[in-house]
Amino acid sequence: MKKFYDIHFHSLNLSHANLLAFLNRDDIITQQNVKKALKKAFKWYNIIPACTLRLFSKKIKNTLLEQVNDQSNIINLLSFMGSSYKDNFLLIEHFLRNKNALIENNKLHLNNTTYDKLVICPLIMDFGMKNQNMENIFYNIPTRKPVHDQIVDLLNSINYYYSHEYKLDAESKKYRIFNSNTNKEDRLLEIYPFMGINTQNYSIDAIEKILNRYFTGFENDTPEERFQKLHNKMGDFKNSSLEKELNPDYDFNYLFAGIKVYPPLGFAPWPKDNNEELKKVKLLYKICSERRIPIITHCSDGGFKTVKNAQDLSNPGNEWKEVLDNYPDLIVNFAHLGNQENSKQWENQIIDYAKDDSKKVYTDISCMAKDDNYYKKVSDIFSNNPDVEDKMLFGTDFVINLIWSESYNEYLKAMSDTNHLSDKQKHKLCCSNAEKFLYGGIIDYSSTDKIDKKVTETI
């Protein structure tokens, strides 16, 4: 049994992401795009005074709109995010099977290796946005994006994936969604989501309640038991309503594999000047350390930004150093290898953490590894820091990576085709390292059948 892990995946649509935060991304409307549009509108743009340009506002507007429409990658992204949310996982599988197909005989084929399953970890983002400054507009109450709604949608969409499938309709000769009786063990995808938490959006009692609701029992399980419990609960939740209390009698444990935090949305890793917030994050880290709950944190100078100090909060060498010093057993994945546009400071800091055996620090290459040049960089890192081979994870950052990549298929194929990494190194990135991060160890699948009955009884 071989499984390919995408440890950093986003399953969200435009109803989940705060639109203001989305438009505020540096990679949506760039300075280069605006310059290009203006130069296209005005041949002598560089020498025409600004006051003269104002006279041609209609021309500028039309040219900017043309420029946006020319950005096929943005249209591609919005096309996917605008689709029915419950279809997301079906769409991923459908296009893996049918367009530049990477699936054959219900297995994922990447270069020299065949994988029985594709494991994806959708990361919920807590867009609570309570810290958003909206004083300069009339409707100035921050947009409500309750993480509860996103949880319900995500869990329902996982259930929908395992109970439906795309099939070619004999009558219309088109693909349609039909009910499916296929066992989930026989489906290509395994889906283990991460809960999004921004401690600033909750009281300390609410945080403890959330962690106990979704992560009770994690402290005592073996890697095989954790995998089996997550697998057994996968697709189990179904709720068509949006009650404030989600099915209070339902056991929510093992619906989520870990925690996602997002500093640019205001999560402060170690708010030492705010005693109340510091107590909240200490509770989060204490429980995650004791129960071996993995945390993924955004770590790049891009992304969704709603606070002015987004860079300081994301910096792995600032507040995060305090976190790791105080909680050495905390399992943390610094995403995107700390990418910065004009610096390697964050990347170097993460590499230093990953080389330290006393720390349980990982990093992923989500969103960055879209072409062969990046894998050359990864290869160079491994050559200079061999220990990092055991701490790096594969991730795509789908659906956000459609800003730069044409498709999920393309991103996987870049990993498959690169010659800069050996098959052994690739397997570490996309399998064995991920299992250690998620479950606490490499899974012996031959033993999971023996514990299945025991695990089923516990949940």
> Over the stretch 51-103, which tens digit does the pLDDT of each residue have?
555 555 556 556 655 555 555 676 777 777 767 778 899 999 999 999 888 99
In a domain, 436, yes or no: yes
Q: What is the mean pLDDT of residues 392-413?
A: 91
In a domain, 39, yes or no: yes
In a domain, 16, yes or no: no
The answer on 102 and 62 residing in a single domain is: no
Q: How many CB atoms lie within 10 A of CB 189?
A: 21
In a domain, 17, yes or no: no
Asked whether 195 and 263 are in contact (CB, 8 A), the reply is no
Domain that holds residue 36: 22-76
d(CA 452, CA 459): 11
The answer on 325 and 250 residing in a single domain is: yes
Out of 76, 103, 119, pick the residue that ends a domain: 76
The answer on 44 and 111 residing in a single domain is: no
The answer on 229 and 147 residing in a single domain is: yes
The answer on 111 and 61 residing in a single domain is: no
The answer on 134 and 97 residing in a single domain is: yes
The answer on 191 and 251 residing in a single domain is: yes
User: Is it the case that residue 152 has pLDDT exceeding 80?
Assistant: yes
Q: For the chain, give the percent of residues with pLDDT over 90.
A: 59
Question: Which residues are CB-contacts of 171 (< 8 A; sequence separation ≥ 6)?
Answer: none
The answer on 378 and 341 residing in a single domain is: yes
Nearest to 374 by CA among 352, 345, 396, 406: 396
Tokens of 185: 């063990």
The answer on 423 and 354 residing in a single domain is: yes
In a domain, 387, yes or no: yes
In a domain, 116, yes or no: yes
Q: What is the mean pLDDT of residues 1-20?
A: 78
The answer on 86 and 69 residing in a single domain is: no
The answer on 292 and 308 residing in a single domain is: yes
Side chain identity at residue 124, one-letter code: I
Task: Say if residue 408 is exposed, middle or buried (CB neighbours under 10 Å; 0-12, 13-18, 19+).
Answer: buried
The pLDDT tens digits of the residues spanning 162-201 come to: 999 998 888 888 899 999 999 999 999 999 999 999 999 9
In a domain, 208, yes or no: yes
The answer on 278 and 142 residing in a single domain is: yes
- The structural domain count of the chain equals 2
Q: What is the mean pLDDT of residues 137-153?
A: 72
Q: What is the mean pLDDT of residues 271-284?
A: 97
Tokens of 387: 């220990």
